[in-house]
Amino acid sequence: MARPRICPMIRAKKYGTIAAIAIAALLILKFILLDRSPVPETSPEAVNLKLVRALARASRGELPQSLHVLIIAEGAFPKSAVIAGEGLFKKKPMVFDSFQAVFADKKTVIIDTAMDAAGVEKMSKGMPFFADRYAAMQTAMTKAERIILTHEHPDHMGGIGKTEAMDKIKDRLLLTKEQIDDPYRDKSYFTEDNIRAISSVKPLEYDPYFSPAPGIVLIRAAGHSAGSQMIYVALKNGEEYLFVGDIVWSMENLEKLKGKPYLMNAAGFLKEDRAKVAAQIRFLHNLTADPENKVHVVVAHDLEQIKDYIARGIVAEGFQ
């Protein structure tokens, strides 16, 4: 018995409906995973800058006289992975770096330690790496008074994780319990000996603010990671800085009030508390949008911002 023939118009309509449903589903998925990153109108994560400033100046010692940066590696990430709702086929210039606060007596405090060439290659294949600068940072760590981190991820802690000078720097590490105990740590960025040494460091306990040196204040800011903290630095010349780690990956996030896309969490790349991060973004947006604000917000991975700060003399290039 012959099969009944389906009218071509009916067949076309059927396939057209299926295609429309598939496109709608993809658009909804894109909206959820790539475009949405809601930020609240107010921020329970706001920082009491008046108190932070007072703590920074409470010590009898002189404030640091300069702030320096070493660009360890630079390249670009997909912009859609950095800022929710932004260009699928665009790139955002990105950087791995380390900072150094220098005091008049030549004492120093290092903020973040980037990671070695193998770590950079693993995290961002083909990203240019500057071995001489990484070596200069390693030498600087052995002379630093303190080494502190915005958080415990390998692109900020990896310079400690792979250092060959752990015996010299161990007593200079100022790490919180969360930074030491990170349950998600990718051990490929650390040597076994260094993991043991880091685990033996006496953890710093504070809440919500702590000043480890004149002009420097640590600010609890869990969200991007359990051990995330903002770091305030005040220089003797009146310049102020707020290191925000990876709360955002670019100043454009703050300007546009957009965090990272949800896909970064859903795919397992990040394990952020997105509600806390969103509240921190609101606070930082309000701070940077305030015409009276004089604090330089430092976004760790924003290559364009770091190069602009160097060009304007806000941060000096190269460690002392």
Residue boundaries of the structural domains of the chain: 1-35, 37-317
The whole-model pTM stands at: 0.92
Collect all residues with Cβ–Cβ distance below 8 Å to 316 and sequence separation of at least 6: 66, 67, 68, 69, 310
The token pair at 81 is: 């992975």
CATH topology of domain 37-317: Metallo-beta-lactamase; Chain A (3.60.15)
Do residues 203 and 177 lie in contact, with contact meaning Cβ atoms separated by under 8 Å?
yes
Per-residue pLDDT at 5: 61
Per-residue pLDDT at 44: 86
Residue 216's φ and ψ, nearest 5 degrees, are -125, 130
Per-residue pLDDT at 129: 98
Collect all residues with Cβ–Cβ distance below 8 Å to 88 and sequence separation of at least 6: 34, 78, 80
Q: Which residues of the chain have pLDDT under 50?
A: none
Cα separation, 212 vs 230, in Å, equals 13
Per-residue pLDDT at 8: 67
Per-residue pLDDT at 186: 96
Per-residue pLDDT at 146: 98
Per-residue pLDDT at 24: 61
Per-residue pLDDT at 87: 79
Cα separation, 201 vs 193, in Å, equals 13
Do residues 182 and 227 lie in contact, with contact meaning Cβ atoms separated by under 8 Å?
yes
Per-residue pLDDT at 251: 98
Per-residue pLDDT at 76: 94
